[in-house]
């Protein structure tokens, strides 16, 4: 059965995009002006350098804009870093935290992710907290233990529907064109939902659970109709308006 949680279709542009790319963003916003934007939230997490300009160029209150990381501290001597308050200041509403690319390339631990989630919540942003297992863990049947621990350690004591969204992104599915079978996604999302309810009771049951990893317009309808999947986190396919809107379309068919 589908949950009653409001779906979120979120794009992650990663380290892609200069001011020229705002043409695609405008096309996404324009596409959402129709009834596509009505029964789900749409978000694009941009490189921080583009957020301000993006907000000036889109005339649309149905497309949220977010960042892709923030520092755990409010401010200070952290050359090159960006605080949650800075993202909020330029108009971001969300921030992706603990993406596997940051966990791998920047050695981010779940404890660090948790500190960042706290900073994001403090600044009034919604944190999209990513978890997901590598291939060897999956192949030895350790997925639930692995992501259960990540979930537990990456989240602070108080979370709710407004300040946290969870994205389950199997690392082997990111950018690979491979996705888990619907039954596998259903099993993981049921597990995550149960964990959140166990820890946070009613507040936990309202938290949205996104699936991420090779979502495209062709597989979106199947994936988004799985029980406890409340939306998607989309990398490659969010860079083109037609692909992103094609994925959003899935919500009109479910």
Tell me how far, at minimum, the Cβ of 15 lies from ligand PGA, in Å: 12
Residue 99 annotated as catalytic? yes
- Return the number of the residue (7 or 212) whose C-beta is nearest ligand PGA: 212
Q: How far apart are CA 95 and CA 51, in angstroms?
A: 12
Which residue is catalytic, options 94, 99, 189, 193?
Answer: 99
- Return the number of the residue (124 or 134) whose C-beta is nearest ligand PGA: 134
Tell me how far, at minimum, the Cβ of 11 lies from ligand PGA, in Å: 9
The only residue of 25, 234, 248, 250 in contact with ligand PGA, by rule CB under 6 A: 234
Residue 193 annotated as catalytic? no
What residues from 155 to 184 belong to the interface with ligand PGA (CB under 6 A)? 169, 174-175
Residues 156, 91, 128, 115, CA torsion sign: negative
- Return the number of the residue (58 or 167) whose C-beta is nearest ligand PGA: 167
Site membership for ligand PGA, residue 236 (CB under 6 A):
yes
- Return the number of the residue (119 or 131) whose C-beta is nearest ligand PGA: 131
Q: How far apart are CA 68 and CA 21, in angstroms?
A: 17
Which distant-in-sequence residues (6+ apart) come within 8 Å of 25 by Cβ?
44, 46, 54, 57, 58, 63, 241
3-state SS, residue 205: helix
Nearest to 13 by CA among 166, 238, 168: 238
- Given the rule CB under 6 A, which of 26-34, 80-88, 106-114, 228-236 is the region that contacts ligand PGA? 228-236
Tell me how far, at minimum, the Cβ of 27 lies from ligand PGA, in Å: 19
Pairing of strands 41-45, 126-131: unpaired
Nearest to 238 by CA among 6, 91, 64: 64
* Residue that the structure tokens 């977010």 belong to: 66
End-to-end CA distance of the chain: 12
∠ at Cα 34 (28, 40), nearest 5°? 75
The only residue of 128, 192, 224, 233 in contact with ligand PGA, by rule CB under 6 A: 233
The tokens of 94 are what?
């969300």
What residues from 2 to 61 belong to the interface with ligand PGA (CB under 6 A)? 12
What residues from 70 to 109 belong to the interface with ligand PGA (CB under 6 A)? none
Q: Tell me the site size for ligand PGA, rule CB under 6 A.
A: 13
- Return the number of the residue (69 or 200) whose C-beta is nearest ligand PGA: 69
Q: How far apart are CA 130 and CA 231, in angstroms?
A: 13
Q: By the criterion CB under 6 A, which residues form the site for ligand PGA? A: 12, 169, 174-175, 212-215, 233-237
> Catalytic residue numbers?
99, 169
């Amino acid at each position: 059965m589908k949950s009653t949680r409001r779906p979120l279709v979120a794009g992650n542009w990663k380290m892609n995009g200069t001011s020229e790319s705002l043409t695609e963003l405008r096309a996404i916003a324009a596409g959402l002006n129709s009834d596509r934007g009505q029964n789900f939230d749409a978000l694009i997490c941009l490189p921080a350098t583009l957020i301000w300009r993006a907000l000036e160029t889109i005339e649309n209150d149905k497309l949220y804009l977010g960042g892709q990381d923030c520092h755990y501290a409010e401010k200070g001597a952290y050359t090159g870093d960006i605080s949650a308050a800075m993202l909020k200041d330029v108009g971001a509403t969300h921030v992706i935290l603990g993406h596997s690319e940051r966990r791998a390339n920047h050695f981010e631990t779940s404890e660090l992710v948790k500190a960042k989630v706290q900073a994001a919540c403090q600044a009034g942003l919604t944190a999209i907290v990513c978890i997901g297992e590598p291939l060897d863990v999956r192949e030895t049947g350790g997925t639930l233990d692995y992501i259960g621990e990540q979930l537990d350690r990456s989240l602070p004591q108080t979370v709710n529907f407004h300040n946290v969204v969870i994205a389950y992104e199997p690392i082997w599915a990111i950018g690979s064109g491979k996705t888990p079978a619907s039954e596998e996604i259903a099993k993981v999302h049921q597990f995550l939902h149960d964990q959140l309810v166990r820890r946070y009771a009613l507040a936990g049951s309202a938290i949205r659970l996104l699936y991420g990893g090779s979502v495209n317009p062709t597989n979106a309808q199947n994936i988004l109709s799985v029980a406890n999947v409340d939306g998607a986190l989309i990398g490659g396919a969010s860079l083109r308006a037609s692909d992103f809107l094609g994925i959003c379309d899935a919500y009109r068919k479910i």
